[in-house]
Amino acid sequence: MNRQKSFENEMPTLFLVPTPIGNLSEMTPRAIEVLSSVDVIACEDTRTSGQLLKHFDISKRLIACQNFNEETSARGIVNLLSQGNNVALISDAGYPLISDPGQRVVSMVTAAGYNVVPVSGCSAVLNALVASGLIAQPFLFVGFLPPGNSERVKKLQEYRAYPMTMVFYEAPHRIKKMLESCLEVLGDRRACLCREMTKLHEEFLRGTISEMIEAADELKGEMVLVVEGNRDDYSKDVDMSMILRMVRESVETGMSTSQAIKEVAGRTGVSKNKIYDMVHKAEQKGTC
């Protein structure tokens, strides 16, 4: 077990610092303080982050941490920490790791025994969720779906039965096709399409997915789609092989079978008894 007491040790620290998703006034005093105090700042784009830091009169060494070089940059960050440096990780906008680089970095840093400290701040997920008018919790953050239509439909089918509110990211040039896939797989559910949040042209479209498709051609900017969960009796349509796979995957992480069944039931809304019966039958057949 790795037990981190963030402010009761003198270990070098990796700070996860969110940056504004549009309105620079939303940069918190603590975020500014941390970025001003660290030795190195790792970022997606040194030019974009350079402009942000200049706005707040912060001058620090910048290194790139992008999806295509995250393995290399993660090792570099661990090396910086081993030399006694404190490092901040930022993305171009929003929270690191949330559909942005950082997962590999955090995994390697925690494995090496250094502190990882989150700093509160902007997140498009939460902004969209609380303003959507849909049930805010429980919710499932999906992020970006695959860009190809067949892969996107296949991925959505995994979420079709989930009873919780779902949050997706999407690029403006793909939003209409993504909405059409949602309509095909999820049905014409209530949803909220949020664009350009915290910016001058902030807009929330609340209604049904089909209504949003009609308006999609005229929409521009960064998009977050919030969709209500499944409220119907869907148990007969559930892909139980997928449920069984989820149980297996949970057991592989170290859970007991009963814990895994409870966890998967909570995630999918399928009853624990139904999952238990399926797992029991699979065990008898030797397929689980």
Residues whose CB falls within 8 Å of the CB of residue 184, separated by 6 or more in sequence, listed in order: 153
What span, in angstroms and rounded, lies between the C-alpha atoms of 190 and 132?
10
> What token pair was written down for 165?
């509110």
Is 26 in contact with 202 (CB distance < 8 Å)?
A: no
What span, in angstroms and rounded, lies between the C-alpha atoms of 192 and 243?
28
pLDDT at 272: 84
Per-position pLDDT tens, the chain of length 288: 889 999 999 899 999 999 999 999 999 999 999 999 999 999 999 999 999 999 999 999 999 988 778 889 999 999 999 999 999 999 999 999 999 989 999 999 999 999 999 999 999 999 999 999 999 999 999 999 999 999 999 999 989 888 899 999 999 999 999 999 999 999 999 999 999 999 999 999 999 999 999 999 999 988 999 999 998 755 555 667 888 888 988 888 888 998 889 888 877 767 788 888 888 888 877 766
pLDDT at 161: 85
pTM over 0.85: no
